[in-house]
Amino acid sequence: MIDRLRDIVGSKGLITDQSEMEPYLTDWRGRKQGRALCVVLPATTDEVAAVMRLATAERQPVFPQGGNTGLCYGAVPDSRKADKSGIVLSLRRMNQIRSIDRAANVATVDAGVILANLHEAVHAVGRQFPLHLGSEGSAQIGGLISTNAGGTGVVRYGPIRDLVAGLEVVLADGRVLRDLAGLRKDNTGYLLRHLFIGAEGTLGIVTGAALHLHPLMANSAHAWVAVPDPAAAVALLAVLQDKAGPYIEAFELLSASQIQLVARHVENVRIPFSAIPAWSVMIELSSVDASTGLSEILEAALGDAFESGIATDAVIAASERQASEIWHIRHSVSEANKKEGIGVVHDVAVRTSDVPGFIAAADRVSSERFPEAVTQVVCHLGDGNVHYILMFAHAYWAALADKDAFALEVEQAIHDVAAAFSGTFSAEHGVGRKLTQELERLCDPVRYELMLQVKQMLDPDNRMNPGVLLPSTKAAAEGRAT
Amino acid sequence: MIDRLRDIVGSKGLITDQSEMEPYLTDWRGRKQGRALCVVLPATTDEVAAVMRLATAERQPVFPQGGNTGLCYGAVPDSRKADKSGIVLSLRRMNQIRSIDRAANVATVDAGVILANLHEAVHAVGRQFPLHLGSEGSAQIGGLISTNAGGTGVVRYGPIRDLVAGLEVVLADGRVLRDLAGLRKDNTGYLLRHLFIGAEGTLGIVTGAALHLHPLMANSAHAWVAVPDPAAAVALLAVLQDKAGPYIEAFELLSASQIQLVARHVENVRIPFSAIPAWSVMIELSSVDASTGLSEILEAALGDAFESGIATDAVIAASERQASEIWHIRHSVSEANKKEGIGVVHDVAVRTSDVPGFIAAADRVSSERFPEAVTQVVCHLGDGNVHYILMFAHAYWAALADKDAFALEVEQAIHDVAAAFSGTFSAEHGVGRKLTQELERLCDPVRYELMLQVKQMLDPDNRMNPGVLLPSTKAAAEGRAT
């Protein structure tokens, strides 16, 4: 097997040394360790296809890997079979930007292109690719697509799913689906690409993508607005959508408890209000047109909001420095929370209109079942994505007998609240190996059956990233599908 | 069968009288006539599911029907089996708007809601559903979704696929996939809904939908710009995208030959140029914010365009009346062409950047193979969607021995040109019964195999709208899938 792999990808494309393999076998936070026969690094789509044909003949599992920046262990190889430990297939050598079509606003890239490199290349021709997240210096396009990455721009541009104009995918058996025309309109049958977006490498290997580009922004305005409660924040969002819907770049709701932690643990925090407001919203508007009066639009909208009582105080940034001071607080949340204690963070989403109800219900559950926790809310309100956090003191956590079991108990309690609002337990982080049981527990049964049928159709031997997303045994899949 | 159907849907929900069935059996232009056992009109999703279970037990084909406004005969029932002529399943009695969620910008509706009624309902709460087409007074949401309808707003809002936040679908066997949460973010496995969008009723019956709403526009600007050639129009679009990308509501390229026909056959046509330009572009910008200086943005962009020679003359509408005069010409194209002769109209799309190359190549093919035709171009340039028209004199057409065969010859010649640019032969009209052979001929083979596999997975007995999109015999499907 190893020799035949070397024939396909050359010595440069193969790692068999255990210590060199290490970074490919462990998640980036060092929490999970997997194993594999070797790491293969093909340089072309044809090489990927040849590797997949060989893996099919040898009945070896394949674990596709992008930048290995996931949070749910979806890139950790683990076949659970001693004799078929499988191969890690890294896309990192496929790192070419194939073309940038400025008129069509489409960039065509290899799956291994790092997000930050794409940003740089399209900026150079006056365009942006509006996907931004903390790991953009190492996350790769193929992995971002396979996990349907979100990031901070979702309220305006959607997740990466909405930015994909086409895909090139190598299927489990080595067939290549070529769908890179990047057409804006095509009504010739079933659109298959969405099956592979967010499939976490379980249906095929994304080797290339056509991506929609957007114009650069020339102008922005920033505000921090105190609101009496989450319902008022929802009403404020609606007012802003009337006046400035297409300009909303960010709309972030924070609880006082969260801002207090930032003020306690982080340097250079300036609170422009006389007291930290119980609830507040940080807003960014931006426009491609430098003459758009964004601050005036904000002022007018806030004027209406004060009159109707949905805003109680507000600061509009008068300078870039003031804008940075506002967003410094938002971006310091993780740092502050790490210093405070052990936070069990949830990544749920409900409809924007249901966010106030969800928060109230989650607060009730938390105070009844986990009275030791202090709760914080950090919410991308425009997406309905609530990071609802239960913060436990280090001492309390250290004394727990079974930390994993306790964390699961907390998570399930909050997931159940989201489910009661037809919400999701994983808005942007995915399922990976971490949440497969929650998926089986909470997914609509018909949808789950269909997912198993799709898996059976495209990967009948369950060799593509087995154990991720769906149960790892073929029998389990068949048991549900029939 | 009929009695058991009546038990499910009641007498109000069943038509068996042949003359009453007539409108459901014939396409709206009266070109194709089908047949069926009866027409069933369920009032609820549960009734649809019960009908599908019964049809499964009785092995009867099912032909879902919306407003019956398609152009490719996708709603004409034709099982090609004497003993199993099947039932037409009309969604027209499922016509309730279930809810409008202003904060989440989501409307949830029955599939039988007529598009114009949805427009009215969401306008009443200060929102728009930005899908507009000629048939909006009778087209239904379910049919629009099943054909992935386009219309005039695609350059800004995308086709209806981009406006669907969730679906409710009754599967061939009567299972119901409920996906109406309408979340903006959900990363819990395969997203199945895109399989049913544009599937033309061959995989399941769309019974409900959650739809994204957009803010109303407060402000617009209109221009008609003469350009030297299609390449200059592409360059002008790029300039405008830099300055005003998010405001572009329409960007329509027309050949002089097309405008001449409108001037010849239509009343009240005003050409504001000294002569009809060889090529010209009609532009609309719009904004939610009344203070946006759209005319100033247009003027600045056109100033740059004049300097670089990509525009040679231009008129910016100074009043609503002038704007109407411009768009009157665009909207009179069909009327003018019908009066002129027999137009073989193509609905191809290529990338915007390939439009000039496509037009040049199509012109060459036309003049070599069909010298009797005059060609016209009407192009949604922002989408790369070219309606390339070969116009034949009535007398020439009347003298043709086999008109259908000749039309097919013309169509295949132009489709081949589009295919050479990785383009599509059906940008927005779909496949229906009209273009199934073109799909088989031109589709990427791996994609076609996968489409057959998907069909096999969701409709193994080929009872859902058989003969539409894919070959009508089960054997044909199996032959390709294995």
Beta pairing partners, A107? A100, A211
Please, which residues 122-181 of chain B have a Cβ atom closer than 8 Å to chain A? 126, 147-148, 150, 154-155, 158-159, 161-162, 171, 175-181
Q: What is the DSSP string of B361-412?
A: HHHHHHHHH-TT-EEEEEEEGGGTEEEEEEEE-HHHHHT-S-HHHHHHHHHH
**Site of tokens 């152009």:** B71
- Which residue in B188, B234, B385 is closest to A103 by CB distance? B234
**Beta strands per DSSP E along B5-129:** 14-15, 38-40, 62-65, 87-90, 97-101, 106-110, 127-128
Residue B427 covered by a domain: no
Give contacts of A198 with chain B, Cβ < 8 Å: 187, 189-191
| Residue B143 C-alpha, separation from nearest chain A C-alpha, in angstroms | 14
Closest by Cα among B370, B353, B363, B347 to B421:
B353
Please, which residues 357-416 of chain A have a Cβ atom closer than 8 Å to chain B? 380, 382-385
Residue B237 covered by a domain: yes
pLDDT, tens digit, 9 for 90 and up, residues A47-61: 999 999 999 999 999
For residue B230, give the CATH number of its domain.
3.30.70.2190
Give contacts of A349 with chain B, Cβ < 8 Å: 183-186
Residue A456 covered by a domain: yes
pLDDT beyond 50 at B482: no
- Which chain A residue lies closest to B290 (C-alpha atoms)? A243
Give contacts of A160 with chain B, Cβ < 8 Å: none
Band the pLDDT of A479: cuts 50, 70, 90.
Answer: very low
What pairing do the DSSP bridges indicate for beta strands A342-345 and A348-349? unpaired
Contact A311, A236 (CB under 8 A): yes
Q: Does A296 touch chain B (CB under 8 A)?
A: yes
pLDDT beyond 70 at B476: no
The predicted model gives B253-271 an average pLDDT of: 96
pLDDT beyond 50 at A481: no
pLDDT beyond 60 at B141: yes
pLDDT beyond 60 at A289: yes
Interface touch A444/B126, C-beta < 8 Å? no
| Residue A234 C-alpha, separation from nearest chain B C-alpha, in angstroms | 7
A&B contacts, CB < 8 Å: 289
Instruction: Give the distance, in angstroms, between the CA of residue B79 and the centroid of all CA atoms in the same chain.
Output: 25
The predicted model gives A111-123 an average pLDDT of: 98
Euclidean distance between CA atoms B129 and B163, whole angstroms? 8
pLDDT score of B419: 97
For residue A416, give the CATH number of its domain.
3.30.70.2740
Give contacts of A245 with chain B, Cβ < 8 Å: 214-215, 288
The predicted model gives A96-115 an average pLDDT of: 95
**3-state SS string for B224-286:** EEEECCHHHHHHHHHHHHHHHHHHEEEEEEEEHHHHHHHHHHCCCCCCCCCCCCCEEEEEEEE
Helix ranges (H only) for A35-134 are 45-58, 115-123
Strand, helix or coil at A379?
strand
- Residue B86 and residue B161 share a domain: no
- Residue A198 and residue A185 share a domain: yes
Give contacts of B451 with chain A, Cβ < 8 Å: 189-190, 192
pLDDT score of A473: 58
Looking at chain B, the whole-number percentage of residues with pLDDT higher than 70 is 98
Name residue A191's amino acid: L
For residue B40, give the CATH number of its domain.
3.30.43.10
Residue A450 covered by a domain: yes
Strand, helix or coil at A376?
strand
pLDDT beyond 90 at A482: no
B64 φ/ψ angles, rounded to the nearest 5 degrees: -70, 145
pLDDT beyond 70 at A302: yes
Rg (CA), chain B: 24
- Which chain B residue lies closest to A195 (C-alpha atoms)? B190
- Which chain A residue lies closest to B455 (C-alpha atoms)? A190
Indicate left, alpha or beta for B276 from its phi (over 0: left) and psi (-120 to 50: alpha): beta
pLDDT score of B280: 98
- Mutation target to probe the B interface, by most B beta carbons within 10 A, among A100, A190, A216, A379 is A190
pLDDT, tens digit, 9 for 90 and up, residues A60-78: 999 999 999 888 899 999 9
Contact B377, B255 (CB under 8 A): yes
pLDDT, tens digit, 9 for 90 and up, residues B18-59: 999 999 999 888 888 999 999 999 999 999 999 999 999 999
Band the pLDDT of B479: cuts 50, 70, 90.
Answer: very low
Residues 6+ apart with CB under 8 A from A75: A27, A63, A64, A65, A66, A68, A143, A201
When the pLDDT of each residue in chain B is averaged and rounded to a whole number, the result is 94
Strand, helix or coil at B53?
helix
Give contacts of A205 with chain B, Cβ < 8 Å: none
Give contacts of B104 with chain A, Cβ < 8 Å: 351-354, 384
When the pLDDT of each residue in chain A is averaged and rounded to a whole number, the result is 94
Question: To 5 degrees, how large is the angle CA A31–CA A32–CA A37?
Answer: 150
Rg (CA), chain A: 24
Interface touch A103/B444, C-beta < 8 Å? no
Strand, helix or coil at A43?
coil
pLDDT beyond 90 at A291: no
Neighbours of A357 (CB within 10 A): 16
- Residue B104 and residue B85 share a domain: no
User: Which residue segment(s) compose the domain that A453 sits in?
Assistant: 436-481
- Which chain A residue lies closest to B440 (C-alpha atoms)? A188
pLDDT score of B31: 82
A62 φ/ψ angles, rounded to the nearest 5 degrees: -125, 130
**Beta strands per DSSP E along B172-271:** 176-179, 204-212, 214-215, 219-227, 248-255
Interface touch B185/A424, C-beta < 8 Å? yes
Euclidean distance between CA atoms B1 and B40, whole angstroms? 12
Band the pLDDT of B473: cuts 50, 70, 90.
Answer: low
- Residue B185 and residue B245 share a domain: no
**Beta strands per DSSP E along B384-479:** 385-392
Domain boundary among B300, B333, B366: B333
pLDDT, tens digit, 9 for 90 and up, residues A147-188: 999 977 899 999 999 999 999 999 999 999 999 999 999 999
Q: Which residues of B133-162 are buried (b: 16+ CB within 10 A; e: fewer)?
A: eebbeebbbbbbbbbbbbbbbbbbbbbbbe
Domain boundary among A215, A248, A270: A215
Strand, helix or coil at A92?
coil
Helix ranges (H only) for B59-125 are 115-123
Closest by Cα among B289, B392, B290, B376 to B333:
B376
Tell me the torsion sign for CA atoms A404, A406, A412, A414: negative
pLDDT beyond 60 at A114: yes
| Residue A267 C-alpha, separation from nearest chain B C-alpha, in angstroms | 33
On the 0-12 / 13-18 / 19+ scale of CB atoms within 10 A, A39 is buried
Residue B429 covered by a domain: no
- Which residue in A235, A431, A446 is closest to B188 by CB distance? A431
Residues 6+ apart with CB under 8 A from A156: A130, A246, A248, A249
pLDDT, tens digit, 9 for 90 and up, residues B182-216: 999 999 999 999 999 999 999 999 999 999 999 99
pLDDT, tens digit, 9 for 90 and up, residues B419-428: 999 999 999 9
pLDDT beyond 60 at A363: yes
Interface touch B184/A444, C-beta < 8 Å? no
| Residue B97 C-alpha, separation from nearest chain A C-alpha, in angstroms | 18
B246 φ/ψ angles, rounded to the nearest 5 degrees: -70, -10
- Residue B228 and residue B205 share a domain: no
- Residue A210 and residue A107 share a domain: yes
Residue A333 covered by a domain: no
- Residue A202 and residue A311 share a domain: no
Euclidean distance between CA atoms B112 and B93, whole angstroms? 7
The residue count of chain A comes to 482
Q: Does A186 touch chain B (CB under 8 A)?
A: yes
Interface touch B245/A101, C-beta < 8 Å? no
pLDDT, tens digit, 9 for 90 and up, residues A203-262: 999 999 999 999 999 999 999 999 999 999 999 999 898 888 889 999 999 999 999 999
pLDDT beyond 60 at B331: yes
pLDDT, tens digit, 9 for 90 and up, residues A460-474: 999 999 999 998 655
- Residue B197 and residue B122 share a domain: yes
- Residue A138 and residue A118 share a domain: yes
Domain boundary among B215, B240, B269: B215
Euclidean distance between CA atoms B150 and A408, whole angstroms? 45
Euclidean distance between CA atoms A33 and A25, whole angstroms? 6
pLDDT beyond 60 at B475: no
pLDDT beyond 80 at B444: yes
- Residue B210 and residue B101 share a domain: yes
Beta pairing partners, A211? A107, A164
**Beta strands per DSSP E along A321-471:** 342-345, 348-349, 374-380, 385-392
More confident call, B380 vs A82 = B380
- Residue B30 and residue B60 share a domain: yes
Token pair listed for B406: 């000749």
pLDDT beyond 50 at A475: no
Residues 6+ apart with CB under 8 A from B53: B173, B174
- Residue B195 and residue B117 share a domain: yes
What's the total number of domains in chain A?
Answer: 5
**Beta strands per DSSP E along A228-373:** 248-255, 279-287, 313-316, 342-345, 348-349
Interface touch B349/A184, C-beta < 8 Å? yes
Residue A429 covered by a domain: no
Euclidean distance between CA atoms A70 and A338, whole angstroms? 19
- Which residue in B242, B351, B470 is closest to A101 by CB distance? B351
Euclidean distance between CA atoms A337 and A343, whole angstroms? 7
- Mutation target to probe the B interface, by most B beta carbons within 10 A, among A164, A184, A442 is A184
Interface touch A203/B190, C-beta < 8 Å? yes
Q: Does A217 touch chain B (CB under 8 A)?
A: no
Closest by Cα among A423, A429, A431 to A451:
A431
Token pair listed for B107: 């409307």
Name residue B313's amino acid: D
Residue A428 covered by a domain: no
